[in-house]
Chains A and B, each alone.
Chain A
Amino acid sequence: MKFGIVVFPGSWSQQDFYHVIVNVLKEEACYLWHKEADLQGADCVILPGGFAHGDYLRTGAIARFSPVMKEVARFAKRGGLVLGSCNGFQILTEAGLLAGALLRNDCMHYRCKWVHLRVESQQTPFTSAMTRGQVVRMPISHGEGRYYIDDAALKQLVENDQIVFRYCDEGGELAKEANPNGSLDHIAGVCNARRNVLGLMPHPERAAEAILGSEDGRVMFASILDTFARA
């Protein structure tokens, strides 16, 4: 399976994704420079974390207009798998490929720490190897991760089972202290209605090897590979 990792000026997680895909999973990966409107035949497109275009204006606001994004939108519309982590999630919301927006953390601090996430839906190509209610551990690293969406759109997300991850404590409870950025309803990750586009603030690529403290992120990659193998 071939993964295409989009690189914007200011991206910083692309090499971590590349390492996990090539060295840990032994799959194929390539970098996709944001100025090239070509996905190089990738089966799954990844928008990594970082600070594309310096986060100027709003996070992801400028990146969404890069030539590669038109192709990503087209790819998503055909049902292609698109995963956005951290800044990638912010870009996907700005591009309108995912609902909602990411705002400055309510604590005003940049948060770089391990968090627990409750899997809210396994009905996605990214979480099919997980179980609903399962608690996974991944790191976050962001200053603007507070998920926001208006009431009507939130209702729709809930009805369509589009909330994929929620911040929780070790036991899976949605404790206030377990919400690192003040996200609405503890939302850490959502998918689109068609379920082929996922965005999350945490970093699965930084939790894919035991030596780094967690292998839970690897299950997300396993889900993607499994979905691809069945297709």
Chain B
Amino acid sequence: MLTAKIYVTLKPGVLDAQGDTVKSALETLGFRGVADVRIGKFLVIRLDGHAREQTAAQVEEMCRRLLVNPVIEDYSFELEEAGG
């Protein structure tokens, strides 16, 4: 069993309204020095099998076809052996 941890983030040039709102909330709470907040998605997908290369290709395709919109988002992922 492998676990794919996928990070989906808004592209650098895309305004993140949610992130900006959280930034101002942090400032309201007195946190100083918050330069920027960006909010993305974190997906955890457990996959059968141990063939890393094949699984990586599969996750790549999942990202390309469904999980990520390339117009606005970037992504990265890591594969780990799932414990248990």
Contacts and interface: CB of A to CB of B under 8 A. Distances in A.
A57 B13 contact: no
Contacts of A57: 66-67
Contact of B14 (A93, A94, A103): A103
A226 interface: no
Contacts of A105: 17
- The residue in B21, B66, B67 that gathers the most chain A C-beta atoms within 10 A of its C-beta is B66
B72 A101 contact: yes
A106 interface: yes
A82 to B, nearest CB: 19
B18 interface: yes
Contacts, number: 36
B70 to A, nearest CB: 9
Contact of B15 (A58, A65, A93, A182): A182
A148 B17 contact: no
A107 interface: yes
Contacts of B72: 101, 103, 148
B71 interface: yes
A27 B15 CA distance: 43
Contacts of A206: none
A16 B17 CA distance: 31
Contact of A149 (B15, B66, B71): B71
Contacts of A150: 13, 71
A100 interface: yes
A146 B69 CA distance: 15
Given A57-B66, A61-B66, A101 B17 contact: no
The A contact surface, by secondary structure, is: loop
Nearest to A96: B71
B69 A58 contact: yes
B71 A148 contact: yes
Contacts of A106: 15, 17
Nearest to B72: A101
Contacts of A65: 66
A172 to B, nearest CB: 26
B69 A94 contact: yes
Given A58-B69, A103-B15, A150-B71, 15 more contacts: A57-B66, A61-B66, A61-B69, A93-B71, A94-B69, A100-B71, A103-B14, A103-B17, A103-B72, A104-B17, A104-B18, A106-B17, A108-B18, A146-B15, A146-B17
